[in-house]
Structure 1
């Protein structure tokens, strides 16, 4: 089967961003729409709006403004790869994004959250967790419709975002490696 090279988007980020949420690479609907998390069954936007007790928007520009106002950036671990369909398990020959450059350009990032196992494992394999950095890393349950965890469980796990933003002293807390499994 002939596969096309898929390329990720530019990050949604600015100098105020303190949290960076990393996915693996956009799915088919997102690539076609040129929007992060465009699949209406993906619970990414729903989770974030609910965490901040806000009314969800259907407008992509408003979604982007919303997360930026919350000091949250979004990007993908994989810059490009080959993949049939949207499943992470079908990703082949991945090349990762330039995180060294990103962290230099945006030094206010304190916490990196991985949206699912593929993002986490790819980052760990190609980049690793630099213990000399001031970054905190945490793997979250994927917001993807392929993940069968109940929405309430995902929401509870993702609530760490609010805790991070409220806790000014979390920079001194460092966590590396695999988080405890449930």
Structure 2
């Protein structure tokens, strides 16, 4: 699961999708058949139990707040060295339009692995209800461990 860059709140609390308004962890818990995690340790445990990895397309960028639309000076992560050389990744999912666009621009040409675009779980994507997000993220379920 690839985001663009951690939000200021996620950086503050020290884990991906750490903004309590972001619905990522509730969505992943739902597709995994688990209770939603309530703290960093429970989020980590959910990811480990169901074998999904989290990272970001970008290592650094200039960004205003959490607005992906404001991204400038993008520097991509080396996902091969950070993740693919260490874990048996079977599929790549981008959690939003910006992460997918940046993945396709910077990373897919090098890796040759296409990514599936999923809707953003950000509170800014309020037009997507939690049940609708769970349905969309259901495509990832077959890649997760029970």
| Displacement of 1:146 | 0.9
CA contact (8 A) 2:96 2:120 kept: yes
More strand by share: 1
Deviations 1:24-44 (A, max 9, x none): 001111111111111111100
Shift of 1:63: 1.0
Query: Higher helix proportion, which one?
Result: 2
Out of 128, 136, 139, which is 1:157 matched to?
Answer: 136
Q: Please provide the CA RMSD for this pair.
A: 1.8
Structure with max Cα Rg: 1
Indicate whether 1:82 and 2:62 are aligned: yes
Contact 2:57/2:103 (<8 A) preserved: yes
Q: Gapped runs of 5+ residues in structure 2?
A: none
TM superposition score normalised by structure 1:
0.73
Question: How many residue pairs are counted as aligned between the two chains?
Answer: 144
* Superposition TM-score, scaled by structure 2 size: 0.89
Establish whether residue 125 from structure 1 lines up as the match of residue 105 from structure 2.
yes
CA 1:90 to 1:164, structure 2 compared with 1: closer, same or farther past 3 Å?
A: same
Aligned-partner Cα distance in 2 for 1:144–1:129: 27
5+ residue gaps in structure 1? 1-20, 167-182
- Report if the CA contact (8 A) 1:110-1:136 is conserved: no
Q: Which residue of 2 aligns with 1:18?
A: none
